[in-house]
């Protein structure tokens, strides 16, 4: 039976192309081989800290998938894993075994960042500076070091960023010395906020810390991007939280909202971002759109 004209159903050779499987396949191809080609690149390297001291907000997931999306669309990206849990390293398939040179050695021993940045398998233009268990003690060791707040800035300063478009720093879920190092080294802060009841809990303290760093250590630091994550369209609460965040932060909030997605949660256990694990999933498409917004905004600066 032929669909009525204007029904919006695509048919080719008598086969219905508007099935759920077909839509997922088209979405996957859009992520892997976007019709629009490469996205615009910034005029200079954008160094961004991805921070929120509240755990479970999608911070590491956001870092990994934004980075993968940008890299898959022609940008050159380095992910610096500054979280002792090392989840970003795991999601990008980086080696975290004992003895591996990592971001710890850059912070504490002055190792060159380029020596510990490893290419990510299956995603050209993407590198990861891994975190190992050594980083767990770095907070204590940094206390006695000279210029303890700017150790990461020094490491990045010795890195040739002329061939890099983005450096994304995945911060730990705390406001200690590691997070301060990330904010001193960065120019921008990206804050993921989950669309749940406690979304704004502790956010005021994060904003105050950003202001303290800007006042005393890094005058160029600014909150540039806020991304709403874990959005559940079935609940009124999610919509209310999103509206409240947009009302408070205005244009800093990306239009794209990342929905709750099982695939996004599964991907790291396979040592992948969701962009390669299941590029047709709603989470992958949302992160791709969020990254595209960031790329366009960055090119306009």
Encode pLDDT of 217-228 as tens digits.
999 999 999 999
The pLDDT, as a whole number, for residue 98 is 77
Which H/E stretch holds residue 155? helix 151-157
- Please check the confidence at residue 258 and state whether its pLDDT lies above 90: yes
* pLDDT band at residue 47 using 50, 70 and 90 as cut-offs: very high
Please give the full DSSP string across 220-280, using - where no structure is assigned. T-EEEEEEEEEE-TT-HHHHHHHHHHHHHHGGGEEEEEEEP-HHHHHGGGGTS-HHHH-TT
**Average pLDDT for residues 55-70, to the nearest whole number?**
92
Q: pLDDT band for position 64 (50/70/90)?
A: very high
Residue ranges of domains in the chain: 40-300
* Cβ proximity of 123 and 98 under 8 Å: no
Asked if residues 297 and 252 have their Cβ atoms less than 8 Å apart, the reply is: no
Residue 163 or 167, more confident: 167
Task: Provide the CATH number for the domain formed by 40-300 in this structure.
Answer: 3.40.50.300
| Reported confidence tier of residue 3, pLDDT bands at 50, 70, 90 | very low
234 compared with 16, residue with greater pLDDT: 234
Q: Distance between CA atoms of 135 and 84, rounded to whole angstroms? A: 5
> Tokens at residue 266, please?
């599964």
pLDDT at 11: 45
Burial of 179 (0-12, 13-18, 19+ CB in 10 A): buried
pTM comes to 0.86
Q: How many CB atoms lie within 10 A of CB 137?
A: 12
* Confidence class for position 12, pLDDT limits 50, 70, 90: very low
Per-residue pLDDT at 275 exceeds 90: yes
pLDDT at 43: 92
Mean of pLDDT over the chain: 86
User: Do the Cβ atoms of 84 and 135 come closer than 8 Å?
Assistant: yes
Task: Please tell me the distance from the alpha carbon of residue 158 to that of residue 241, in angstroms, as a whole number.
Answer: 41
Entry field: residues in the chain: 301
Compute the Cα dihedral for 17, 22, 23, 25 and give only its sign.
negative
């Amino acid at each position: 039976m032929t669909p009525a004209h204007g029904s919006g159903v695509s048919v080719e050779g008598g086969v219905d192309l508007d099935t759920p499987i077909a839509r997922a396949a088209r979405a996957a191809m859009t992520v892997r081989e976007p019709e629009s080609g490469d996205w615009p690149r910034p005029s200079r390297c954008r160094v961004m800290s991805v921070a929120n001291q509240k755990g479970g907000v999608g911070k590491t997931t956001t870092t990994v998938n934004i980075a993968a999306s940008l890299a898959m669309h022609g940008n050159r990206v380095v992910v610096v894993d500054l979280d002792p849990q090392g989840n970003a390293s795991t999601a990008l398939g980086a080696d975290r075994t004992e003895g591996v040179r990592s971001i710890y050695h850059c912070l504490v021993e002055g190792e060159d960042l380029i020596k510990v940045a490893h290419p990510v398998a299956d995603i050209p233009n993407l590198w990861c500076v891994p975190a190992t268990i050594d980083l767990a003690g770095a907070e204590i060791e940094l206390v006695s070091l000279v210029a303890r707040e700017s150790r990461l800035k020094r490491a990045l300063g010795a890195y040739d960023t002329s061939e890099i478009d983005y450096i994304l720093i995945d911060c730990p879920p705390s406001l200690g010395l590691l997070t301060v190092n990330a904010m001193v080294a960065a120019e921008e802060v990206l804050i993921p906020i989950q669309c749940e009841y406690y979304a704004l809990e502790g956010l005021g303290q994060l904003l105050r810390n950003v202001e303290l760093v800007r006042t005393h250590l890094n005058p160029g630091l600014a909150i540039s991007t806020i991304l709403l994550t874990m959005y559940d369209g079935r609940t009124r609460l999610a919509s209310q939280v999103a509206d409240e965040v947009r009302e408070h932060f205005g244009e800093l909030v990306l239009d794209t909202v990342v929905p709750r997605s099982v695939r996004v949660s599964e991907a790291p256990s396979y040592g992948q971002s969701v962009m390669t694990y299941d590029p047709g999933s709603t989470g992958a498409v949302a992160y791709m759109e969020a990254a595209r917004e960031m790329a366009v905004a960055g090119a306009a600066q």
